[in-house]
Homo-oligomer: A and B are copies of this chain.
């Protein structure tokens, strides 16, 4: 089974991208160029370009052309309190090129709802017990990079500033602490997969861009879960980090 032409073309273009011959931002040879160069039908050239786009290496813009994408990740340090200077020795393999632009929030909504089934089990609630839901979207320079949905049991947080759009200084964890529920431990579970259409739309994702799903469980001193936070991240924009003792 010989390698089909569209793959050979894709392989060649990929090689040129990974070798740096085609740098981030550069325009990749278009359909017409490939048709002329390799003597194939336009559809075949398109398919080759589609492979690169699906791999997340390029980004096509109608009317303009196809360009090499760049990877400038935001460093998310989940355990940053532990990241003492003494452990800073040893560079990161990826850390060269970090996106340091400030992050903002748009479309924040805070509502009281019956608890979704899958969250109820995690919070130890009855199926439709009320929860406060905090929904937000994070942007970097107008570009959405993360969606976040927090669930907090209504019977624990009712009447607190947690139910207000602005929970005040220190955020909801400071308010939880004031209620004697101060989270003392977190558990984060992480998956990666291709986005569903609505996720792709909400994050403005290019083709071939996977998402990272993080679910954070916050526990109080009693060992009770007090918050579940579901996050959806544009994988191409994030470098995630955890530190922990042996």
Contact = CB atoms under 8 A, between A and B. Distances in A.
B56 A186 contact: no
B187 A54 contact: no
Interface stretch (A27-35, A106-114, A129-137, A209-217): A209-217
Interface string A170-189: 00010000000011111111
A159 B88 CA distance: 28
For chain A, the bracket of interface size reads: 35 or more
A241 B214 CA distance: 9
Nearest to A193: B56
Nearest to A52: B194
Interface string A73-99: 100001101110011011111100000
Interface string A53-86: 0111000000000000000010000110111001
A191 B55 contact: no
A72 to B, nearest CB: 12
A102 interface: no
